[in-house]
Amino acid sequence: MKDCIFCRIARGDIPSSKVYETERVVAFDDINPMAPVHVIVIPKEHIATLMEITETEGGLMTEIVAAVQEAARLKGVDRTGFRVVVNCNEDGGQVIFHLHVHVLGGRKLQDELG
Ligand code: 5GP
Ligand code: ZN
């Protein structure tokens, strides 16, 4: 997806503050953080939403979870705790249609599920 903003971040066409990267996933700081720690974890492959994940993805979600864990460690919230959020489609509040996981921490989060 040439024009997808997260594909462009994955390729390095748009600069981002990268936290962690593997062959298949990238973690970077959210540009508009909602908490002291707000990391976005994405697959490098363009997958639009959580609904597009299938078993043929070959362990991609496991890699994403591993990247969430690593980002939490690198940001120092692995022990204090954090929240993982995936917004899916319109009612879920998804704005960027490239699958991504929000990792929020560094403060006591309230009930912000909307
Ligand atoms: P969504 O609402 O789709 O789940 O969240 C999209 C997130 O991407 C938002 O938290 C927004 O701040 C973040 N975001 C949008 N554009 C950029 C960008 O160019 N760079 C970075 N680092 N984050 C972005
Ligand atoms: Zn994309």
In this model, does residue 114 exceed pLDDT 70? no
Ligand nearest to the CA of residue 34, numbered in listed order: 1
Domain 5-105 has CATH 3.40.50.970: no
Q: What is the pLDDT of residues 25-41, one digit of tens each?
A: 999 999 999 999 999 99
41 lines ligand 1 (CB under 6 A): no
Tell me the C-alpha distance between 27 and 80, whole Å: 19
Coil vs helix vs strand at 78: coil
30 lines ligand 1 (CB under 6 A): yes
Ligand 1 centre from 89 Cα, in Å? Answer: 14
Measured from the CA of 93, which atom of ligand 1 is nearest? 2
What's the pTM value of the predicted model, to 2 decimals? 0.96
